[in-house]
Structure 1
Amino acid sequence: MTDPARWTTPAGVAAVVRRRWDDGMLPRAFALDEPFPRVEVPLRGPSAADLGEYFDAARAWADAVNRGSRDGRAYHVLRGRIGGRLAGVTELPTRAVVESYAQAWQLLGTARDADAFRAVVAASLDVPTARAWALTSPQRAVALAGEWATLLSAHRWLADHRDSGRYLREVSAPGVDTKFIERHRSVLAAMLGVPSDATRFAEALGFAVKPATVRLRCDPAVVGLPSGVTEATLRVDELDRLRARPDRALIVENEVTYLSVPVPDGSVVLWGKGYDADRAASLPWLADVPVLYWGDIDTHGFGILHRVRAHLPHARSILMDRETLLAHEGRWGSESVPTTTAMTGLDPAETALYTDLVTDRFGSAVRLEQERIDWAWAMGRLRDAGW
């Protein structure tokens, strides 16, 4: 005996065909004018033993399967006989067969999407990479059908101006602006075979990117700035060419702290600005200069220190120690999303404190932001470090 609830319904037939649509097989074959890949769906229905107890249900099920075929427009119904000498012979549906695109679109309600996809593929004949992307991503291509002509226009312009060194803002393709490129960057990146991250997208295509800058306070003489200029924001590549010669440097994560620390003669203070700290750390003229890094005492603070050390292995951390953390317990906060990444750029004491933070030794997601450290404590530590 079988449960009528488990008998195959027209929706079950559609689900089988729907999988062929969703995985791209049907729209791809249709767009390429390939023969329809016939789909046969075995129908789970009543057995001969069910007819006695579920006769009315069996008849209703057969009627539903037949109605679902829409007189053969959605699928053909193949029938077979069940029963025998004792129970009598009854003819019931045994298979649903979809053997044309017209039937599949009728069953799924996808005729308009199928036509749109075929038009997308046909429009892309002279842009092979766009056509290849559409054929591998039919559902996404259908969703973009209304903008496909503009996407092709953007693709052609990007490909034609590859390695030009121009800014994307200079795009002149019909209907395309930087907002359009930004909105569809992941698709264009896939078509052009480049990373989808904004900066890497432009760099990989040979376009200009927004220059990296560093903000610093300094003794103007050591950086080559005019007398009286004590702060500047400069492009990293241009700052490198200044051939600065400071006696020492301090990279500070927090902006207000950066503005507050003293700048001794012959020194330079650079705003790290969180994970942008490796911009400052990448300056070649810091390689032979004593460098201090002062960041938050939390997992990401040590993550930034780890990145700074990738450029400046000799950089020393300041005010990122266990004593400072424990002395300011009343000022602790909490990290919203701590990291647990392995930090190979930390020294043993830093590694031990980082491990304590990761394992919640002092509490859940403990952090001490540098702007919460007592100022007299901070200045004393900086003086002891020779600042």
Structure 2
Amino acid sequence: MTRRWSTAADVRTPVRRRWDDGTLLRCYAAGEPFPVIDVPLRRPRASEIGDDLGAVQDWAAALAAGSKGGAYYHVTYEEVGGRVIGRNELPGRAVVRSYGQAWALLGVTTEVRQLDQILALLAQEPVLRHWVGANPLKALQFGASWDRLMQAYRWLLAARGSGRYLREVDAPGVDTKFIERHRSVLAHLLEVPSTSAGFVTALGLRTKPELVRLRMDPTLGLAGEFSEAVLRVEEAAQAQVSVRSAMIVENEISYLSVPVPDDGVVIWGKGFEVDRAGALPWLRQTQVHYWGDLDTHGFAILDRLRAWLPQTRSVLMDRQTLLEHRDRWGREPSPTSARLDRLTQPEAGLYADLVSDTFAERVRLEQERIDWAWVNAHLPCVAPQRRAGTVDDPR
């Protein structure tokens, strides 16, 4: 019977709820008056008093004891009863009237003291203090790191737009590992994206340079007498060079194996990093061929490259090549079914067949599995470009 009556734990529940959602700490950090928490108590009915007065008295005593003499909450009493059992004063409500009572009831005095220390530390940093006040529970998760977070924030703010590398940070106790580990909160404080690249770029710091690897005809003079080079994309883009043809190859070993065309280059596309090749302005008026895996992602990369270089023609990514190598098919781990608007009609038809599993489930022919004699017979820099079935014209 007594289990239906409120206990000290029932008083604690709504207070805990307001702690967990941050309401109490936000009000506290803002210096606002305590939002009084008035908890109605489920108490014995008049008939239950007469049935077991001792149990009722024990219940009332337990609630009073749970208040710790008013340190946790105040109990207000109401009269219950009538002519039959007489008038009795029983607990009617439990009221938490102060922050001190709430902290004692929940046992969070240590956490609140830590928040006080954080707010004092950040007294001269209004942006940081405001964030802590709005997100006190998150702020507590960083604990003793706030001194270094403040130093990192100040350095990043001062370095904003400087073009410096993040590695150059010299704030007390702060290194790049610390910034990476706390990038999410620092991004909130600085109002920039929290992704690794977005964080650095939005702050105007220098990003790790993008590189492009290529083999070239030495007569181009692109890298002196060297036959292969790894160049910064922004520097390669500024080169004054006249390239007659280019082959972009997804797989590294295939990239190393194909012959370099006369007055041309072979570029390692490296999957979706093909954007780096696409960004080279001296390829815009050049004959470009792309050789990728024969799977859905291979066509997605081709479609992406054509956004940069619409004249790009695919090679060894045709239906005949696929069907001639049935014994070398694999399974694509995570096929895409994205809409690809830059494929030619033959490419789009084959892509649709791969998406719909026309030939088999998740068919994939990796380019390094294609018979090399077949490659030699169909590469445009080896065989005549007009040979039947070798090139799909994107026009």
TM-score by length of 2: 0.86
Aligned partner of 1:17 in structure 2 is 15
Q: What is the root-mean-square deviation in Å for CA atoms of aligned residues?
A: 2.9
Structure 1 unmatched ranges of 5 or more? none
**Contact residue 201 and residue 207 of structure 2 kept, 8 A:** yes
In 2: Cα distance, 1:310 partner to 1:174 partner: 46
SS at match of 2:275: helix
**Contact residue 333 and residue 367 of structure 1 kept, 8 A:** yes
Distance 1:50-1:215 versus aligned 2 partners, 3 A rule: farther
**Residue 35 of structure 2 is aligned with which of 34, 37, 46?**
37
**Residue 201 of structure 1 is aligned with which of 199, 202, 206?**
199
How many residue pairs are counted as aligned between the two chains?
A: 384
2:307 is equivalent to residue 316 of structure 1: no
Aligned partner of 1:114 in structure 2 is 112
**Residue 292 of structure 1 is aligned with which of 289, 294, 306?**
289
SS at match of 2:224: coil
Once the two structures are TM-superposed, the CA of residue 120 in structure 1 deviates from its matched residue by 1.6
SS at match of 2:162: coil
2:176 is equivalent to residue 178 of structure 1: yes
Distance 1:42-1:308 versus aligned 2 partners, 3 A rule: farther
Distance 1:369-1:90 versus aligned 2 partners, 3 A rule: farther
Farther off after superposition, 105-114 or 83-92? 83-92
Aligned partner of 1:221 in structure 2 is 219
2:278 is equivalent to residue 256 of structure 1: no
Distance 1:291-1:35 versus aligned 2 partners, 3 A rule: same
Once the two structures are TM-superposed, the CA of residue 175 in structure 1 deviates from its matched residue by 0.7
Distance 1:263-1:74 versus aligned 2 partners, 3 A rule: same
In 2: Cα distance, 1:208 partner to 1:351 partner: 39
In 1: Cα distance, 2:147 partner to 2:27 partner: 22
**Residue 333 of structure 2 is aligned with which of 331, 336, 339?**
336
Distance 1:326-1:138 versus aligned 2 partners, 3 A rule: farther
Aligned partner of 1:382 in structure 2 is 379
2:324 is equivalent to residue 327 of structure 1: yes
**Residue 275 of structure 1 is aligned with which of 255, 272, 294?**
272
TM-score by length of 1: 0.88
In 2: Cα distance, 1:341 partner to 1:51 partner: 71
Distance 1:270-1:105 versus aligned 2 partners, 3 A rule: same
**Contact residue 187 and residue 199 of structure 2 kept, 8 A:** yes
Amino acid at match of 1:344: D
Once the two structures are TM-superposed, the CA of residue 173 in structure 1 deviates from its matched residue by 0.9
Distance 1:80-1:350 versus aligned 2 partners, 3 A rule: farther
In 2: Cα distance, 1:63 partner to 1:339 partner: 67
Amino acid at match of 1:246: V
Distance 1:76-1:267 versus aligned 2 partners, 3 A rule: same
SS at match of 2:261: coil
Distance 1:322-1:41 versus aligned 2 partners, 3 A rule: farther
**Residue 354 of structure 1 is aligned with which of 351, 356, 360?**
351
Identity %: 52
Distance 1:239-1:57 versus aligned 2 partners, 3 A rule: farther
Larger radius of gyration between Structure 1 and Structure 2: 2
Once the two structures are TM-superposed, the CA of residue 54 in structure 1 deviates from its matched residue by 8.8
Deviation track 1:86-140 (CA, whole Å, cap 9, x = no partner) reads 6766654433321111111112222111121222223223222222221222112
Amino acid at match of 2:308: H
Deviation track 1:241-270 (CA, whole Å, cap 9, x = no partner) reads 212222111111111111111212122111
**Contact residue 223 and residue 242 of structure 1 kept, 8 A:** no
Once the two structures are TM-superposed, the CA of residue 364 in structure 1 deviates from its matched residue by 4.4
In 1: Cα distance, 2:335 partner to 2:83 partner: 74
Structure 2 unmatched ranges of 5 or more? 391-395
In 1: Cα distance, 2:53 partner to 2:316 partner: 83
2:128 is equivalent to residue 130 of structure 1: yes
In 2: Cα distance, 1:363 partner to 1:42 partner: 67
**Residue 211 of structure 1 is aligned with which of 193, 202, 209?**
209
In 2: Cα distance, 1:353 partner to 1:16 partner: 61
Once the two structures are TM-superposed, the CA of residue 176 in structure 1 deviates from its matched residue by 0.9
2:384 is equivalent to residue 372 of structure 1: no
SS at match of 2:156: helix
Give matches, 1:222-241, under 5 Å.
222-227=220-225, 229-241=226-238
Once the two structures are TM-superposed, the CA of residue 192 in structure 1 deviates from its matched residue by 0.8
Aligned partner of 1:71 in structure 2 is 69
